[in-house]
A and B are shown apart, each in its own frame.
Chain A
Amino acid sequence: MSSPIRDAMATSDVLITVGSGGVGKTTIAATLALRAAMEGTGSMVCTIDPAKRLANALGLEALGNKEARIPDETFGAAGLLPRAPMYAMMLDIKRSWDDLVERRAPPDKREKILNNRFYQALSTALAGSQEYIAMEKMWELHEQAKYPLLVVDTPPTAHALDFLDAPNRILDFLDNDAAKWLLTPALAAGKFGLKLFNLGGSYVAKTISRFTGTETLQQLADFMLNITSLTDSFRERAHQTRSLLQAPSTAFVLVTGPMPERVDEAVYFHTLLQQNKMRVAAVVVNRIHAPVPDALWDEVARMGGPLQARLEQTLKENDLLATQDARGIERLRELCAPTPLVLVPRFELDVHDLKAVWETSRYLWGEAQVDAAKATR
């Protein structure tokens, strides 16, 4: 049986899972990495999701900023015997930023950058910074070429767009004519080695400083001055990550649920990826409710007794869920064409151990199928 996921894995060394929150994206990322390892392709799954879901899905206590190999015992406990190793990590945003500065900044600038309050905000709390560092990490891991397959999980939709845009944003920030023009007096002062500089010259700078305070602009100027030493490497990296995202060996797996609001978001995201010339290997529709088989309706209709009414109510509810899901699937099929859909059923309990992850992979791999005939009737 053909499977778009299997094809994508055969032709890609980077898979990126994208989608809204709460659709099981992290689990699907883990599933892809697990399946690869089972098939003999060493894999690494990297999550940047702020919530610690991946460790949960892998049955690990916690994941750190370092790549950890999933221990054999974990696989053994699930009755699995992978033919290649599987690794996992969760990005620690602050640590990754510090590593980056320490690696790339000239020695005389390092401390200045690390101690600057703007840098501290940037590396811990600034919206968008985790997206940037994730791109950086993805590129670094890819460059190491240690893992034949790299699976990168992204934060939920609104932010996943930032993720695509992150390298450009950081470049805008560091290499922006506006900033240079505004801060020229300060930058010039810095270059001539003066300790105190004056922003008072420009009307625009004066007005903005009514907002932020003069000192803020000075500190920002200081930060920019020091971090300019990194601009070239940021610029180079931005181009590299962009081309990695668009490379023929990179594929996106868009994960969604079948309910109406998720479908709208998925379609929106699919359009954006295509506009950005990114290859979408498949739309994974997760947690689909199975329709009630006719035989069961018939059986309950005949049974009578105290259970009948309650069972009929249950079947009615199940069918409503299945009907709603079938509609969502139809809309996705139509609006995301020609990207293939991969359907994954809702399991009785939440997927949170390797065994359940393995079961999920059988649907991704085309070994098991949701009863699509009835689901789309």
Chain B
Amino acid sequence: MNPALTDKRLLIVTGKGGVGKTTIAAALALESARSGKRTLVCEVNTKERITQLLGKPEVGPEVTSLEENLWAVNVRPEESMKEYALMVLKFESIYSAVFENRVVRYFLRFIPSLQELVLLGKILFHLKEKRADGSFRFDRVIIDAPATGHAITFLSVPQVIVDTVPPGAMSTDAAWMRDLLVDAKTTAVVLVSLPEELPVNETLELHQALKDRVKLTPRLVVLNGFIPARFTEAEVEAPTTTLVHDTMRAHHARSKLSLASQKTLQKLGLPVVPVPRIFGTEFGRAAIEQVVALLSGADS
């Protein structure tokens, strides 16, 4: 595990849409599990992809063991709502009488941000969950969070509820969730970016917004799809045929952009880990294993 993350129990992986957040979340989860940490990786109400990337069957909304030290879940609002309601109400019979009433269910959908709160609540509950011997059930929880704008909305929900909702079970829960999220000793954000101008700019904006508005602490930037230099400037400039020249120039331009992106991102004052682009027609377990190796290799 990257030194910036070793002692963190909650990792939130986010970035622009399409930068490979899920890939990085899956790789970090595998790396964490292999380092001996009992790790839970969570997707948030989405088309499940992590299990597929790891070559496992879908797990759905139940926390399910994938392999040694590794569990996965795709949290969904309906099931999370039920779990949450049961925790507050203690009795299944009351839950069924009230919450399985269609009318009430309808109503609950409209309590501002309750859906996001229970999704986040379930994830953070597992972070606090303890075993009979008093140790944590999971040493580390990794969230494959939504993309930029939605990540900010999602992660701000506890604070918004603390600010909006008068005292009650909901605001009490929102408060401890907020406290966990902003606790820099427990929680770290991993920003994923691509070596292109727009994703890099968005990473800078996201970093700012997470720090200032959500009060979260980004610790690491993963620069996915990095193209290492292959041709020297002189080789690119040397006379040759148009086709060969274009091939070298295109590669060279991309590798220069990769380097420039890395430099720009380093201005954030965080470690920037380049993960070279992986070429292949199938993107699955083998590719994730490669990413794990690349992430770990970057430690030394």
Contacts and interface: CB of A to CB of B under 8 A. Distances in A.
Given A51-B149, A127-B113, A300-B244, A216 B165 contact: yes
Interface stretch (A138-146, A232-240, A303-311): A303-311
Contacts of A126: 112-113
B286 interface: no
Interface string A207-243: 1111111111001100000000000000000000000
Interface of A: 20-23, 49-53, 56, 117-118, 120-122, 124-127, 155-156, 158-159, 172-173, 176-179, 181-182, 203-204, 207-216, 219-220, 257, 260-262, 264-265, 268, 293, 295-296, 299-300, 303, 307, 310-311, 313-318, 320-321, 323-324, 327, 348-350, 352
A349 B257 contact: yes
Given A22-B17, A324-B281, A207 B111 contact: no
Contact of B168 (A120, A212, A348): A212
Interface of B: 16-19, 45-47, 49, 85, 88-89, 94, 98, 101-104, 106-113, 115-116, 146-150, 152-154, 156-157, 160, 163-171, 196-199, 201-202, 205, 230-231, 235, 241, 243-244, 247-248, 250-251, 253-254, 257, 279-281, 283
Residues of B contacting A: mostly: helix
Given A181-B103, A212-B170, A50 B150 contact: yes
A178 B106 contact: yes
Contacts of B149: 49-51, 155
The 5 tightest CB contacts between A and B, nearest first, are A21-B17, A22-B18, A213-B168, A50-B149, A215-B166
Given A51-B202, A117-B164, A323-B281, A299 B88 contact: no
Contacts of B104: 178, 182, 204, 208
23 contacts: A22-B19, A50-B148, A51-B202, A53-B198, A56-B198, A120-B164, A125-B153, A178-B106, A203-B98, A207-B98, A208-B107, A210-B88, A210-B169, A211-B168, A211-B170, A213-B167, A213-B170, A215-B168, A220-B111, A293-B243, A311-B248, A314-B230, A350-B196
Given A158-B46, A213-B165, A213-B168, 7 more contacts: A51-B205, A52-B205, A127-B154, A156-B17, A210-B168, A296-B247, A315-B247
A203 B167 CA distance: 20
Nearest to B235: A307
B48 to A, nearest CB: 12
> In this complex, which of B85, B166, B205, B251 has the most chain A Cβ atoms within 10 angstroms of its Cβ?
B166
Residue from A53, A56, A155, A211 whose CB has the most chain B CB atoms within 10 Å: A211
Contacts of B107: 176, 178-179, 182, 208
Contacts of A295: 243
Contacts of B45: 158
Nearest to B241: A299
A313 B279 CA distance: 11
Nearest to B170: A212
A300 B278 CA distance: 23
Most chain A CB within 10 A, of B150, B157, B257, is at B150
A314 B98 contact: no
Contacts of B166: 213, 215-216, 219
B284 to A, nearest CB: 10
B49 A261 contact: yes
Contacts of A324: 281
B115 A207 contact: no
Which of A156, A173, A316 counts the most chain B CB atoms within 10 A?
A: A156
Contact of A20 (B18, B102, B154, B196): B18
Contacts of A178: 102-104, 106-107
A296 B196 CA distance: 27
B53 to A, nearest CB: 10
Contact of A118 (B47, B109, B152, B164): B164
Nearest to A122: B112
Give the residue among A158, A178, A317, A327 with the most B Cβ atoms within 10 A.
A178
Contact of B243 (A118, A299, A348): A299
B279 A320 contact: yes
A6 B168 CA distance: 56
